[in-house]
Amino acid sequence: MRVLLVEDQCDAAQVLAKGLREQSYAVDIALDGEAVLYQAGINDYDLILLDVMLPRPIPVPEFQLIQIT
């Protein structure tokens, strides 16, 4: 299963990603909303784990498109 982990705090993202990888998940990390849109545009994800308190959030219409596709 491929997961996009969206977390703006680098240390927290690394710890979470390590735990997921230990459970055999393929994990990519995005640190802000722009990175989410880029990563989701070039990769197919089974799950996006999203920190809803991002400093540069994902614009709502674009995020809805990610959920639909």
pLDDT for residue 67:
55
The class (CATH top level) of 2-68 is alpha beta
* Tens-place pLDDT, residues 5-40: 999 999 999 999 999 999 999 999 999 888 888 998
pLDDT for residue 68:
46
Q: What values do phi and psi take at 12, rounded to 5?
A: -65, -40
Burial 49-60 (b: 16+ CB within 10 A, else e): bbbeebeebbee
Domain locations in the chain? 2-68
Residue of 25, 24, 41, 30 whose CA lies nearest to 4: 30
